């Protein structure tokens, strides 16, 4: 049996989530070789209605063979949703399922029951209703993480999809994730493919909000996301100095050290280890 490729880390710690259309199987292995922590074979937006069945077949063949990664299924209220889950059940390479337009705990629980405990569920919040239910969604059975879909969310609330207008939603998802005890959420895509700095800026901003991952739509975005979601060498060195100073220290690098500072240093080193 061929070894599995891609899905280098678990859904809880994956930084870069690279979408690839399920209708383009020739791109699956290329996506897996991009350096992305998680390949996401997309059955939703990237697949026209008349091609859903063929897309399921391609996704299933890859994940039953050498592939390992996630799949974004169609929304729970879509006529394609049940067929998506039936096609994915039991695939050895399926690591996670992204459920778009998530707003129902019961719907997420059904996904978990059908696909089993070894498949992580990621609830993608893209509506006002999903946002106000974010804590409940993050606490649903099988859910290990929230993800943001800022384009659909902006449309739903009739707002501009600009960072300032989306700040409340992003902060809400970060707080909801923490309240539910799950990993930091995965931020939405960067649509600008011509400016390499755009992904860097967006990923750095997302990390500053408290996001720990980001969706990607092109392999060229992966490296910038992985870098932004990982501690810098300077941060790791600072954390090491804080912990080396010992419990009695009150100053490191001219700054006060108390319990929250020590806890932050420990988290930085933990994230550094998990991102290697």
Q: Two tokens at 203?
A: 């990923």
Check residue 276 and give its pLDDT.
61
Report the helix count and the strand count for the chain, using DSSP H and E.
Answer: 12, 10
CA diameter of the chain: 66
The three-state secondary structure class of 236 is: helix
Shortest CA distance to 12 belongs to which of 210, 186, 202, 144? 144
Over residues 37-44, the mean pLDDT reads: 98
Return d(Cα 154, Cα 160) in angstroms, integer.
6
Mean pLDDT of 29-49: 96
Quick one: which of 121, 73, 76 has its CA closest to 96? 121
Q: 257: closest CA among 267, 266, 247? A: 247
pLDDT in tens, 143-181: 999 999 999 999 999 999 999 999 999 999 999 999 999
Compute the distance between CA of residue 56 and CA of residue 61 in angstroms, rounded to an integer.
8
For the chain, the structural domain boundaries read 16-230, 234-274
Choose which CATH entry (3.30.420.10, 3.40.50.360, 3.40.1410.10, 3.20.20.60) describes domain 16-230.
3.20.20.60
How many angstroms from the chain centroid is the CA of residue 84? Answer: 20
User: What's the rounded mean pLDDT across residues 218-238?
Assistant: 88
Q: What is the pLDDT of residue 265?
A: 82
| pLDDT the model gives residue 237 | 80
Which pLDDT value is given to residue 250?
76
Please determine, for residue 205, whether its predicted confidence score (pLDDT) is greater than 70: yes
Residue 238 has pLDDT above 80, yes or no: no
What is the end-to-end Cα distance of the chain in Å, rounded?
Answer: 27
Q: Does 30 score more than 80 pLDDT? A: yes
- For the chain, give the mean pLDDT: 92
> In the predicted model, is pLDDT for residue 273 greater than 80?
no
Question: What local confidence, expressed as pLDDT, does residue 14 receive?
Answer: 97
Nearest C-alpha neighbor of 71 from the set 63, 79, 83:
63
Least confident of 103-107, 259-263, 271-275: 271-275
For position 3, what pLDDT does the model report?
A: 44
CA dihedral 267, 173, 176, 257 (to 10 degrees): 30
| Confidence at 63, pLDDT banded by 50, 70, 90 | very high
Token readout for 242 is 């804080």
Dist. CA 7–CA 9, nearest whole Å: 5
Does the pLDDT value for residue 7 go beyond 60? no
The pLDDT, as a whole number, for residue 1 is 44
Q: Is pLDDT at 70 greater than 90 in this prediction?
A: yes
Res. 209 pLDDT band, cuts 50 70 90: very high
Q: Could you read off the pLDDT of 75-93 as tens digits, one per residue? A: 999 999 999 999 999 999 9
pTM check: above 0.85: yes
């Amino acid at each position: 049996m061929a070894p599995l490729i891609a899905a280098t880390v678990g859904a809880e710690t994956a930084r870069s989530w690279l979408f690839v259309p399920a209708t383009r199987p020739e791109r699956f292995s290329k996506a897996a070789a991009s350096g992305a922590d998680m390949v996401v074979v997309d059955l939703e937006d990237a697949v026209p209605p008349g091609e859903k069945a063929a897309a399921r077949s391609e996704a299933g063949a890859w994940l039953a063979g050498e592939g390992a990664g996630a799949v974004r299924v169609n929304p729970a209220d879509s006529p394609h949703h049940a067929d998506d889950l039936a096609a994915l059940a039991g695939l050895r390479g399926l690591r996670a399922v992204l459920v778009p337009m998530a707003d129902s705990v019961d719907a997420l629980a059904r996904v978990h029951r059908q696909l089993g405990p070894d498949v992580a569920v990621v609830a993608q919040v893209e509506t006002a209703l999903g946002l106000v239910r974010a804590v409940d969604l993050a606490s649903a059975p099988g859910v290990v993480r929230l993800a943001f879909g800022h384009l659909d969310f902006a449309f739903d609330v009739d707002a501009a999809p600009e960072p300032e207008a989306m700040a409340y939603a992003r902060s809400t998802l970060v707080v909801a994730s923490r309240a539910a005890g799950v990993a930091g959420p995965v931020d939405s895509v960067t649509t600008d493919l011509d400016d390499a700095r755009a992904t860097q800026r967006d990923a750095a901003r997302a990390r500053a909000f408290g996001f720990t991952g980001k969706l990607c739509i092109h392999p060229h975005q992966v490296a910038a996301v992985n870098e932004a979601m990982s501690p810098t060498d300077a941060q790791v060195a600072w954390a090491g100095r804080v912990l080396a100073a010992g419990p009695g220290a009150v100053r490191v690098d001219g700054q006060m050290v108390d319990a929250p500072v020590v806890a932050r240093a420990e988290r930085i080193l933990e994230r550094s280890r998990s991102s290697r």
